[in-house]
Structure 1
Amino acid sequence: MRLRSTELAQNEVACYFSALELGLILLVMFVGDHPRVLPAHRHQTVILNRALAEDGELYARLEEALHGQVHSATVQELDLVNDKTIVDVRYAYTPRIHRPAAQATISAITTAARRTLSRHLPCIMP
């Protein structure tokens, strides 16, 4: 049995594997950079208006300011004279749910009314 195809030259094989490698690299970059893979992870440079040299205090202040969990913080500049800190931060953002003030007030009034009614009319209100 004999195959009738011609042999590939060395430069054709090199081009084939180079194209395959570039395609795989682009696929990996597309998947890794997709917003669904790490949707809450962010990276920022933050300037704080206090010189914070202690890691615990720095992380606590950054988590409070950024509303998330800090994974790493690299101090770029610590200026004790002007009292400022420049930090490169990587963190996971955790959105906070804010209820409008009117809705919170209505909810508080409704709860108070239920308590009053349940005290005065125990047979009607469960």
Structure 2
Amino acid sequence: MVSTSSPSGGAEVGQRVVHRRYVPYSHAHYAGNLVDGAYSLGLFGDVATEMCILTDGDEGLFASYSDVQFKQPVRAGDVLEIACEVTRVGRRSRTLDFTVHVVARGAATETEPGAARVLEEPLLATTATGVVVVP
């Protein structure tokens, strides 16, 4: 554990962690290569774990999610940007806001099976608020 004199570890409101991830076709479960919403929640767990390690020297544990919203589809072949921001710091808890943006999308055709494009404007796909606890 990180040694610190602060009762809230090293966590500060406004701290951010950002990951990027390609969505493999093996995760498509529905027509149109759609990926289930649980995929985004798993990615939120990854950025939350990194945040807890950076701020408190421990992986932490998820206590809850609230206000999960699926705003745009996530598809196999997408490149996602997953972000986590500290919005509240308690003695042993951290409230985090999460977003998933689609920054690139597969555009495969029969003649170009590997085609993809970077989106001019990222699409906000999923949002949530979560609470983690740390020792």
Quickly name the TM-score band, shorter chain normalised. Answer: under 0.3
Looking at secondary structure, tell me which structure has more strand per residue: 2
Whose RCO is larger (CA < 8 A, sep 6+)? 2
Scaled by the length of structure 1, the TM-score of the pair is 0.25
Scaled by the length of structure 2, the TM-score of the pair is 0.24
